[in-house]
Amino acid sequence: MNAVEVSNVSKYYALADSQFTRLRRIFSPVHPAPSPSGKRAAVRDISALADINFSVAEGEALGIIGANGSGKSTLLQIVAGILRPTTGSVQVNGRCSALLELGSGFAPEFSGRQNVHLNGTILGLSQDEIEEKFDAIHRFSGIGDFIDQPIRTYSTGMVLRLAFAVVAHSNPRILIVDEALAVGDIAFRQRCMRRIHELRSAGVTMLFVSHDATDVKALCARCLWLEHGRMRRLGEADDVVARYLASTLNPRHHPDTRPDTVDTTAAEQTKAIATPEKGVHRFGNRAAKVTGISLPGDPAHDSWLRMHVTANSVIAAPIVGFLVRNDKGENIFGTNSARENHPLPVFNPGDEQVIDFHLNAPRLAPGQYAISVAISNGTLDQYEICDYIEDAITFRVEPHARPVTGYMELPCRAVAIHR
């Protein structure tokens, strides 16, 4: 049984010239189908969502991406039961908690403690369950003695922390997150993301909206791309995110899943083996192209990454760079020629250049890693993508004799100071 079933969901909003017209629309039993422009022939309606169909299996995390105004928040509010669809149906099987607008349900004159009990009750917890979880909620929120002060005396950050703590400890079977963490500070966001990953590992079903593609790929196996209220694509997160990013970076150029001719040569190493990646996503205006990628040596040594590029047009200010991600899609490290303060010469049509990135790579945690490469024209602040290859080449790091804590091991010395 699926945790969430969304069937033929559409949502229309009426635009009326008078209060009488709006009142008449409220009691109108018929909602005519919209025209291709998104408006109806008989009345002035706009379409926020149109014919949305998808399901989420129990324990699955589905990412939802799209530009502002694409209908993401409207869709999540319908799934959460806050809004009713104009047409279609939504079936939710299990306790659902939503992180939509953190703190929006708090009573300003109530204390933090009272609001914990109030919101916990709304989320379906009994008073005994709330009391059992209260210390954990209080500790997670980190607001200290303010827990017994009125909410109106809290800062915005304190309200956010308390609201998230309540929802995150409500034993949800389905968790809906709508960009709620983007407004918090770094420490708050990291703490929340750790908790979300814990819930994900515990088998909680998630619908996750974020403009951070790294978070979407790290949490979700599948992704839904909405555009102007319609489903643009639904599928594997890596594929959908790559196509969405391609459309935002270069809207005139559609992503190409064919790698063309890219030489991804690499030799077997003692601890790392590089292999060509199948089905890479590629996009750009093709004013210049990446024609070769290789790992000439062990990632622990110098001259780690080599790129071959060929110019098809004049590239006045070329920038060449790379990004390394782990198997969860999380960014590990990356750089480019401009960031390293190494300006490249002007590329003329037919020019072929070889760029080596020299670095002493840290010892990475065991696992699979992917390298994305790109060449662009412009500056760090304003540029046009010429060629971007997602996950162009991969390499595997085998387990070490000494385990790596976290993502990587950095050089470190412990020194005792005698007094």
The per-residue pLDDT for range 336-395, each reduced to its tens digit, is: 999 999 999 999 999 999 998 887 777 888 888 888 899 999 998 888 999 998 888 888
- What's domain 2-242's architecture? 3-Layer(aba) Sandwich (3.40)
Mean pLDDT of 263-282: 48
Give the CA distances from residue 312 to residues 130, 290, 337, 350, in Å, rounded to whole numbers and listed in that order. Answer: 65, 11, 20, 6
Q: C-alpha dihedral over 292, 293, 296, 298, to 10 degrees? A: -170
Return d(Cα 330, Cα 324) in angstroms, integer.
8
Percent of the residues in the chain that have a pLDDT greater than 90, as a whole number: 29
Mean pLDDT of 217-226: 89
pLDDT at 298 over 70: no
Report the pLDDT value the prediction gives residue 271, as an integer from 0 to 100. Answer: 37
Q: What is the pLDDT of residues 154-183, one digit of tens each?
A: 887 788 888 888 888 888 889 888 876 655
CATH 3.40.50.300 residue ranges of the chain are 2-242
CA atoms within 13 A on the CB side of 218: 16
pLDDT range class, residue 316, cuts 50, 70, 90: very high
The answer to whether the beta carbons of residues 400 and 300 sit under 8 Å apart is: no
352-357 and 318-326 strand pairing = unpaired
Phi, psi (degrees; rounded to nearest 5) at 11: -140, 120
Instruction: Select the more confidently predicted residue: 42 or 134.
Output: 134
Instruction: Select the more confidently predicted residue: 272 or 53.
Output: 53
pLDDT at 226 over 90: yes
Most confident of the following: 138-152, 263-277, 359-373: 138-152
Most confident of the following: 22-26, 150-154, 298-302, 401-405: 150-154
Q: What is the pLDDT of residues 325-338, one digit of tens each?
A: 887 777 888 899 99
Q: What is the pLDDT of residues 114-127, one digit of tens each?
A: 999 998 888 888 89
Report the pLDDT value the prediction gives residue 395, as an integer from 0 to 100. Answer: 83
Report the pLDDT value the prediction gives residue 102, as an integer from 0 to 100. Answer: 59
pLDDT at 263 over 70: no
Most confident of the following: 9-13, 197-201, 309-313, 415-419: 309-313
Which position has the token pair 């790379």? 322
Mean pLDDT of 81-88: 89
Q: Which fold has domain 255-397?
A: Coagulation Factor XIII; Chain A, domain 1 (2.70.50)
Q: Is 0.75 surpassed by the pTM of this model?
A: no
Percent of the residues in the chain that have a pLDDT greater than 70, as a whole number: 80
Report the pLDDT value the prediction gives residue 172, as an integer from 0 to 100. Answer: 84
Mean pLDDT, all residues of the chain: 80
CATH 2.70.50.60 residue ranges of the chain are 255-397
Report the pLDDT value the prediction gives residue 79, as an integer from 0 to 100. Answer: 92
